[in-house]
Amino acid sequence: MEYKHFSHEHNLSMYQVQPGQQFRCSGCDKFCDKTIYACWQCNFFLHEHCGNATRYIRHPFHAPHHLILCPYPTYPSNCFLCNACGTTGTRFSYCCALCEVDLHVNCAFLPPKVSHKAHPHELILNLSNQTGDHNDVNQMCKICRKSLDSKHWSYECRICANYGVHTLCATTEMKMGLYQMDDGDCSDQGAPMAQQGAPMAQQAPIDGQVQVELTPEEALALLHIMGLKANVNAASYV
């Protein structure tokens, strides 16, 4: 069985990673486990969930526009700064080219709430600190004790005052996957922790086209991205 992914010119095949093997995912740059999509002639690998990431999403963090899955950064620096976690990325991102919003794939699908053994209460994803009411200058992540930048996302306890942790600290023990997120409203979702280890591959075939209606601005931005891609490809074949 072969698969086609828009970011790669060759067909991909499924492969089960064996203990001791190390493959780095070309989507998120992290090591792969379990099932991957592979192109052996290029050493190109994708986590199942990275390969199945849909081409467009609506995300409550950036409600006005769709975020488009870009196979690589379109900035001259060849990297992007993730608005969610504040770290750079060089592989896939969900981006709004109109507004220069970029999210790692894993960050875009962070579950709206998590449980962590470090804290008895559920932690809720805070997409940004527009809530200016507790803009403590020196908030610390309660797990790693490093500073918590109010510009980036965090998980917070709604019961305890000022209990915030980094998104990465809250989710290190979790298996990343594609968590379902409804338009706009995360509040009444079941805890996605229950879905750990249950990849949703079957819900999004790798070559499936997602039907979305892009606004004219978004379509232009997409053309712009694809134009850049064509240029990059052309350049690399010269």
Q: Give yes or no for residue 110 binding Zn ion (CB under 5 A).
A: no
Residue 148 CB burial class (10 angstroms; 0-12, 13-18, ≥19): buried
Full DSSP string of 146-157:
SB--TTS-EEEE
Cβ proximity to Zn ion, 159 vs 220, nearer residue: 159
Least CB distance to Zn ion at residue 92 (A): 8
Token duo for residue 104 = 């790692």
Considering the complex, state which of residue 39 and residue 69 has its C-beta at the smaller distance from Zn ion: 39
Least CB distance to Zn ion at residue 214 (A): 12
Alpha helices in 159-206 (DSSP H): 167-171
Contact flag: residue 166 with Zn ion (CB under 5 A): yes
Pattern 9-48, Zn ion, x by CB under 5 A: -x--------------x-xx----------x--x-x--x-
- Per the structure block, which two tokens stand in for 25? 């995912």
Q: How far is the CB of 4 from Zn ion (least distance, A)?
A: 11
Distance, C-alpha 80 to centroid of its chain:
13
Taking the complex as a whole, the smallest distance from the CB of residue 103 to Zn ion amounts, in Å, to: 6
Contact 165, 116 (CB under 8 A): yes
Q: Does 107 bind Zn ion (CB under 5 A)?
A: yes
Of residues 174-233, those binding Zn ion (CB under 5 A): none
| CB-CB neighbours of 141 under 10 Å | 19
Q: Are 8 and 37 in contact (CB under 8 A)?
A: no
Sign of CA dihedral 69, 75, 79, 84: negative
- The contact mask relative to Zn ion for 50-79 (x = CB under 5 A, - = no) is x--------------x--------------
82 binds Zn ion, rule: CB under 5 A: yes
Which residue among 38, 110, 114, 141 contacts Zn ion (CB under 5 A)?
141
| Cβ 115 to Zn ion shortest distance, Å | 11
Residues binding Zn ion (CB under 5 A): 10, 25, 27-28, 39, 42, 44, 47, 50, 65, 82, 84-85, 96, 98-99, 104, 107, 121, 141, 143-144, 157, 159-160, 166, 169
